[in-house]
Amino acid sequence: MADEKDTVHYTGSEGGWGSLRGITETALRERPSPGALNTLRRQNKVKGFMCVSCAWTKPAEPHAFEFCENGAKATLWELTSRRATPDFFANHTLAELKGWTDHQLEQTGRLTHPMRYDRPSDKYVPCTWDEAFAAIGSELKAIDPSTSVFYASGRASLETSYLYALFARLYGHNNLPDSSNMCHETTSVALKGSIGSPVGTSVLADFHLCDAIFFFGQNPGTNSPRLLHPLQEAVQRGCKIVTFNPVREKGLETFKNPQSPVEMLTPKSTQISTLYLQVKTGGDIAAITGMIKHVLAREEALWARDKRHVLDVDFIEQHTTGFDELKAKVDATSWAEIERESGLARADIEAAADIYCDADRAIAMYGMGLTQHVGGARNIKALVNLWLLRGNIGRDGTGVSPVRGHSNVQGQRTVGISEKPELVPLDKLAEQFGFEPPRDEGMNTVKACERILTGEVKAFIGLGGNFVRAIPERDKMEAAWTRLRLTVQIATKLNRSHLINGEVAYLLPCLGRSEEDMQVSGRQAVTMEDSLSCIHGSIGRNTPASKQLLSEVAIVAGMARATLPENPKVKWEEWTADYSKIRSLIAETYPEQFHDFNDRVFTPGGFYRGNSARERVWKTKSGKAQFTVPTALNSMGVGEAEGRYRLMTMRSNDQFNTTIYGYSDRLRGIEGTRDVLLMNPEDIKAAGLRAGQVVGLASDAEDGEDRQVGGLTVTPFLLPRGCLGAYYPEMNPLMPLWYHDEESHTPAAKSVPVRIVS
Ligand SMILES: Nc1nc2c(c(=O)[nH]1)N[C@H]1C(S)=C(S)[C@@H](COP(=O)(O)OP(=O)(O)OC[C@H]3O[C@@H](n4cnc5c(=O)[nH]c(N)nc54)[C@H](O)[C@@H]3O)O[C@H]1N2
Ligand SMILES: Nc1nc2c(c(=O)[nH]1)N[C@H]1C(S)=C(S)[C@@H](COP(=O)(O)OP(=O)(O)OC[C@H]3O[C@@H](n4cnc5c(=O)[nH]c(N)nc54)[C@H](O)[C@@H]3O)O[C@H]1N2
Ligand SMILES: [Mo]
């Protein structure tokens, strides 16, 4: 590995003054509206407002300021005083706006009026809500429901999500892809298959009990900074943290708690990871297999010496299946292969496995570094293998804990936004609303893209998000998009997806979560589910950005009423008037998890909706937790080739997905630009390049397609050899649509095969 001094990197710790400066800079840039500070004070508190940034849990005993740099940025972003008004749209054609950056588009501020796309002038023009709903309704009535797609980004509340999914099914389809299809769908599929539950098994209390936490491909410093507080507390009581990540992410190295005066005023900070292993991109299965090999070796030695076990043999015997097959495979795998595929030394992998064996209770956390690979599900199953060996699932202080992305992405799946009919209680819905729900499998994100390309899809509705920017194969997708008959985007701010329109197109502005949502029965609360399966109520109190805004519930109900025939059991107006009625419907559909929903909305710390695997009830095919034999040691979809690199697409500390707040990736030391190609200094030399040179990347996926992105400055960075890093969403044109996880179809955004071009 090259020396850090030859690379671009950050020298401080995560948190600390840097994060406060980050918030101040955002406040200056967004010019937040009055009341924003009060909103920050109420953030993630009971009867407060639940952050729109990440999905990390909100503790029952919050800190005085239970928010982080990036949560504050997300709130200030929503509460900006800038406005994208009808006047703004009158002055700019969409052709012109297409030349603007993502950052410039969102900096125009909050959308204020419902707008219709006027093709002759290539501009958005204001319209009334009634006009928009009527036009959308008549367009939807004119097409076969199965040719429409209702996408959801993971932010909308449980109430909105439930109604949105109900609308789709009453209309006649299960085409409900959501951002999860690009994110943790791999988790939903792999955990469901191996432990029978599609979500993580840990709760917050487990973080106070565990002896070790292992991080695989998740970056809390940027993407879930409030998670650094329980991590810091864990470290301080002696818990060991081990990280597997190709990048030395600052938040996992050291943390300075911005809420601790002692740490802020002294050089003190907490070292987070005891052991930090820079695994090769896509090399986790090899690393985990190595750990398993060492655990098995220790088992053998301990048993021979004093007839004691390292494995939890009772657990394996009673609760699992497939152990012998796994053991045979691991025994047959050599350390040479493991070292080659993981890029790690045997001694380091053994050191990680020793920490694992010495911990009575261990938690595994992971993120996009495991899920966004062709072998993403295989990555997760390998991790589950390791966790089952010592009974680290379904016991206090243990668990597998995927860190979810959007603030309600997990909850949307819980209440019916799913293209998979078998995951939804359709019979129950049929009984509740007196209709015959569609039973055919719907389109996930990749399927929707494929059928937009072939022209089979006629209508697309986006409940939030920036679909065209977030998906792979951008160039072809943008071209195909204009052939859609109807596109509707429900949004708070202008983004690239709003500039690429179907024949008939509407841009519908909605309230943000921090804003007061007044309906006929008064001010409304909404709810969401966090990464640890806890449900929280949230009340917005800020004055809405414009008097014309409707809530997401009202917009979904408005479109549904204009589209669907009368049904006495379906009461869109009544539900919009009082969201507690929607919560009663949710409780009726999902009584086990949501009983007494309205009484429990403001439970401190949220209410836990339960998890069968946590109770060691395995809802798998075999009725047991499943060991899986790895079929390969890496999660790549193509082999090695001369000049081929593995590109990981990265998030900076100054973005939320496609929302680019600014150009400072402070925690990696990259400032002022996003057009960089991060590369190991030895690789730079070996390729005959030099730091600062501007190059391009071309797709190297062996499918004959020409995909390129140019204008990237070669930047020396501590990455394993053969691995490159560059920012998402700029790199998305390089991703083939077919290059996705084998089981869940999550695009493999962390291992894109590319070569460098001049
Ligand atoms: N501020 C902010 N917060 C966010 C978001 C944001 O964009 N900005 N996005 C939200 C969303 S939707 C999501 S899904 C989450 C995403 O949060 P994360 O899951 O943390 O996602 P990423 O930042 O894409 O990548 C995670 C880490 O994986 C590492 N990695 C890449 N390839 C590999 C590999 O092959 N193996 C291993 N072990 N590691 C690898 C990368 O170096 C990176 O540190 O964050 C959410 N929170
Ligand atoms: N190459 C690559 N591609 C990726 C990823 C990657 O790591 N690499 N990550 C993937 C992941 S994990 C995800 S989750 C997707 C993200 O994909 P999306 O969820 O589709 O995208 P976002 O950027 O989160 O959406 C931002 C937009 O949401 C709208 N918005 C914000 N708040 C609200 C609100 O309260 N209501 C409504 N209606 N709209 C709102 C705003 O208009 C804003 O412009 O991208 C995926 N794409
Ligand atoms: Mo995500």
| CB-based burial, 16-27: b 16+ in 10 Å, e otherwise | bebbeebbebbb
Q: Helix (H, G, I), strand (E, B), or coil: what is residue 128?
A: coil
Phi-psi region of 574 (alpha: psi -120 to 50; beta: other; left: phi over 0): alpha
Which residue, judged by its Cα, is nearest atom 23 of ligand 1? 651
In this predicted structure, the answer to whether residue 265 has a pLDDT above a threshold of 70 is no
What average pLDDT score do residues 151-157 get? 97
Average pLDDT, the chain: 95
* Helices (H) then strands (E): counts for the chain: 31, 33
Instruction: Provide the pLDDT confidence category of residue 68 given band limits of 50, 70 and 90.
Output: confident
Residue with the bigger pLDDT between 747 and 73: it is: 747
Sign of dihedral through CA atoms 573, 558, 521, 46? positive
Could you write out the DSSP letters of every residue in 623-660?
Answer: SSEE----S-SS--SS---TT-EEEEEE--TTEETTEE
Cα separation, 636 vs 282, in Å, equals 6
Characterize the bridge pairing of strands 275-277 and 607-608: unpaired
Cβ of 446 less than 6 Å from ligand 2? no
Which secondary-structure segment (H or E) carries 335? Answer: helix 335-342
In 230-387, at which residue ranges do the beta strands (DSSP E only) sit? Answer: 240-244, 254-256, 270-271, 275-277, 320-321, 362-366
Which residue, judged by its Cα, is nearest atom 16 of ligand 1? 405
Q: Are 137 and 406 in contact (CB under 8 A)?
A: no
Ligand 3 centroid, distance to 115 Cα (angstroms): 28
Which secondary-structure segment (H or E) carries 519? Answer: strand 518-519
Q: Which residues contact 404 (CB under 8 A, 6 or more apart)?
A: 54, 55, 154, 183, 184, 410, 530, 531
Q: Helix (H, G, I), strand (E, B), or coil: what is residue 537?
A: strand
In this predicted structure, the answer to whether residue 646 has a pLDDT above a threshold of 70 is yes
Given this model, what pLDDT does residue 508 score? Answer: 98
Q: Are 455 and 719 in contact (CB under 8 A)?
A: no
- pLDDT tens for 85-100 read 999 999 999 999 999 9
Cα separation, 498 vs 1, in Å, equals 44
Instruction: Provide the pLDDT confidence category of residue 4 given band limits of 50, 70 and 90.
Output: confident
SS3 annotation, 597-611? HHHHCCCCCCEECCC
Given this model, what pLDDT does residue 457 score? Answer: 98
- pLDDT tens for 163-211 read 999 999 999 999 999 999 999 999 999 999 999 999 999 999 999 999 9
**Could you tell me the domains of the chain?**
4-78 (no CATH), 83-111+128-183+408-604 (3.40.50.740), 185-405 (3.40.228.10), 645-757 (2.40.40.20)
Ligand 2 centroid, distance to 154 Cα (angstroms): 8
Ligand 3 centroid, distance to 338 Cα (angstroms): 30
- pLDDT tens for 427-474 read 999 999 999 999 999 999 999 999 999 999 999 999 999 999 999 999
Cβ of 371 less than 6 Å from ligand 1? no
Compute how many other C-beta atoms are within 10 angstroms of the C-beta atom of residue 395: 18
Given this model, what pLDDT does residue 12 score? Answer: 67
Q: Which of 423, 427, 425, 420 is nearest to 445 (CA)?
A: 420
What token pair was written down for 503?
A: 């024949």
In this predicted structure, the answer to whether residue 377 has a pLDDT above a threshold of 60 is yes
In this predicted structure, the answer to whether residue 2 has a pLDDT above a threshold of 70 is no
Which residue, judged by its Cα, is nearest atom 44 of ligand 1? 219
Ligand 2 centroid, distance to 467 Cα (angstroms): 7
Compute how many other C-beta atoms are within 10 angstroms of the C-beta atom of residue 328: 11
Which residue, judged by its Cα, is nearest atom 25 of ligand 1? 368
Given this model, what pLDDT does residue 190 score? Answer: 98
Which residue, judged by its Cα, is nearest atom 3 of ligand 2? 470
Cα separation, 98 vs 497, in Å, equals 10
Given this model, what pLDDT does residue 17 score? Answer: 66
- 531 Cα distance to chain centroid: 10
Sign of dihedral through CA atoms 736, 741, 743, 745? negative
Given this model, what pLDDT does residue 28 score? Answer: 78
Ligand 2 centroid, distance to 416 Cα (angstroms): 20
What token pair was written down for 268?
A: 């003190």
Long-range contacts at 473-479 (CB < 8 A, ≥ 24 apart) = 473/449, 473/707, 473/732, 473/733, 473/735, 473/736, 473/737, 474/732, 474/733, 475/707, 475/733, 476/737, 477/449, 477/452, 477/453, 477/737
Ligand of minimum distance to the alpha carbon of 242: 1
Given this model, what pLDDT does residue 262 score? Answer: 61
Instruction: Provide the pLDDT confidence category of residue 67 given band limits of 50, 70 and 90.
Output: confident
Q: Which residues contact 625 (CB under 8 A, 6 or more apart)?
A: 194, 195, 196, 319, 320, 321, 384, 388, 393, 613, 618
Compute how many other C-beta atoms are within 10 angstroms of the C-beta atom of residue 425: 14
Residue with the bigger pLDDT between 288 and 38: it is: 288
Which residue, judged by its Cα, is nearest atom 37 of ligand 1? 217
Instruction: Provide the pLDDT confidence category of residue 22 given band limits of 50, 70 and 90.
Output: confident
What Rg do the C-alpha atoms of the chain give, in angstroms? 25
- pLDDT tens for 518-534 read 999 999 999 999 999 99
Q: Helix (H, G, I), strand (E, B), or coil: what is residue 92?
A: coil
Cβ of 183 less than 6 Å from ligand 2? yes
Dihedral of the CA atoms 513, 516, 518, 524 (nearest 10)? 60
Which residue, judged by its Cα, is nearest atom 15 of ligand 1? 405
Ligand 2 centroid, distance to 568 Cα (angstroms): 36
Cβ of 22 less than 6 Å from ligand 1? no
What token pair was written down for 72?
A: 């504050």
Given this model, what pLDDT does residue 1 score? Answer: 54
- pLDDT tens for 592-622 read 999 999 999 999 999 999 999 999 999 999 9
- pLDDT tens for 315-370 read 999 999 999 999 999 999 999 999 999 999 999 999 999 999 999 999 999 999 99
Characterize the bridge pairing of strands 645-650 and 723-727: parallel
Given this model, what pLDDT does residue 62 score? Answer: 80
Ligand of minimum distance to the alpha carbon of 508: 2
In this predicted structure, the answer to whether residue 261 has a pLDDT above a threshold of 70 is no
What token pair was written down for 22?
A: 């980050």
Residue with the bigger pLDDT between 43 and 487: it is: 487
Instruction: Provide the pLDDT confidence category of residue 256 given band limits of 50, 70 and 90.
Output: confident
Ligand 3 centroid, distance to 416 Cα (angstroms): 18
Q: Which of the residue ranges 252-256, 453-457, 571-575, 636-640 would you say has the lowest mean pLDDT? A: 252-256
**Alpha-helical regions (H) of 79-202:** 86-90, 94-97, 102-106, 129-142, 158-171, 185-195
Cβ of 697 less than 6 Å from ligand 2? no
Cβ of 379 less than 6 Å from ligand 1? no
> Probe ligand 1: pick from 103, 187, 218, max atoms within 8 Å of CB?
218
